[in-house]
């Protein structure tokens, strides 16, 4: 079976005035469907650039990125936007919730871009919020939710479109240890029960070990790529 994600010799450079920054200098790896991967590395190692490439938010300068067998660089802007909407769910450190919208309305946003009718959007949003344990917070605004609850809303928004991949950028960075562990348990449940491929960037060694594989970057290159011998399992990750 072909890999869901295949990167081959990916490079990415940025021009800052007269300075050329080589953010990625030849990154190659593949990801099987249903994997749970943590990407780690010091500041400036290329983690964020790599996540932008994986999320089809940015195209590499050179190299090949095959997503489900399709060459991403060959797609039009419209095709890329549709791919991001249907195949990839995004979770961010700062939650990125719209403050004037309820939890349900925030979760509905990706479905609006699909042209889905109001009733079906609400049904799917409520189901996603129930899955992350927030069925009693559907009408709450972000300011009425704790940090952990806001991140759960963000995860519900990421899964409402039934994506094959979740890309999470420091998803526990703004949370305390207990809430961070609960979010990691939720990711494990999404991975194991729904088969969603999860790739997270994290600076936290403990949170990284909830994954099955850790890729470490340094200076735009892969420094190591190893299976986690004994991933952390909380036993609390069953979806609601």
Q: How do residues 171-209 score in pLDDT, each as one tens digit?
A: 999 999 999 999 999 999 999 999 999 999 999 999 999
What's the pLDDT score for residue 144?
97
pLDDT in tens, 67-76: 999 999 999 9
What region, left, alpha or beta, does residue 127 occupy, with left being phi > 0 and alpha being psi -120 to 50 degrees? Answer: alpha
3-state DSSP assignment of residue 10: strand
pLDDT at 39: 98
- Name the pTM for this structure: 0.93
Strand arrangement, sheet containing 165-169: 88-92, 165-169, 197-201, 36-40, 213-218, 221-227
pLDDT(236) > 80: no
- Report the CATH fold assignment for 5-227: Rossmann fold (3.40.50)
Confidence of residue 240 (pLDDT cuts 50, 70, 90): low
On the question of pLDDT at 81 being above 70, the answer is yes
pLDDT of residue 72: 95
Residue-level pLDDT at 115: 87
Q: What percent of the chain has pLDDT over 90?
A: 89
Nearest-angstrom CA–CA distance, 163 and 150: 20
């Amino acid at each position: 079976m072909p890999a869901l994600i295949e990167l081959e010799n990916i490079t990415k450079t940025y021009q800052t005035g007269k300075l050329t920054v080589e953010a990625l200098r030849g990154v190659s790896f593949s990801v099987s469907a249903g994997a749970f991967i943590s990407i780690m590395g010091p500041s400036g190692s290329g983690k964020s650039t790599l996540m932008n490439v994986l999320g089809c938010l940015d195209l590499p300068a050179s190299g090949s990125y095959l997503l489900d067998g399709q060459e991403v660089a060959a797609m039009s802007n419209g095709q890329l936007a549709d791919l991001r909407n249907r195949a990839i769910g995004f979770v961010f450190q700062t939650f990125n919730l719209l403050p004037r919208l309820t939890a349900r309305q925030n979760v509905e946003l990706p479905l609006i871009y699909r042209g889905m009718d109001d009733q079906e959007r609400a049904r799917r949003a409520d189901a996603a919020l129930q899955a992350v344990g927030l069925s009693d917070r559907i009408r709450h605004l972000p300011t009425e939710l704790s940090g952990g609850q806001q991140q759960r809303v963000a995860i519900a928004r990421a899964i409402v479109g039934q994506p094959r991949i979740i890309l999470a950028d420091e998803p526990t960075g703004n949370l305390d240890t207990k809430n961070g562990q609960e979010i990691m348990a939720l990711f494990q449940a999404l991975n194991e029960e729904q088969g969603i491929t999860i790739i997270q960037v994290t600076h936290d060694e403990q949170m990284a070990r909830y994954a099955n594989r850790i890729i470490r970057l340094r200076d735009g290159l892969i420094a190591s790529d190893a299976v986690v011998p004994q991933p952390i399992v909380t036993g609390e990750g069953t979806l609601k």
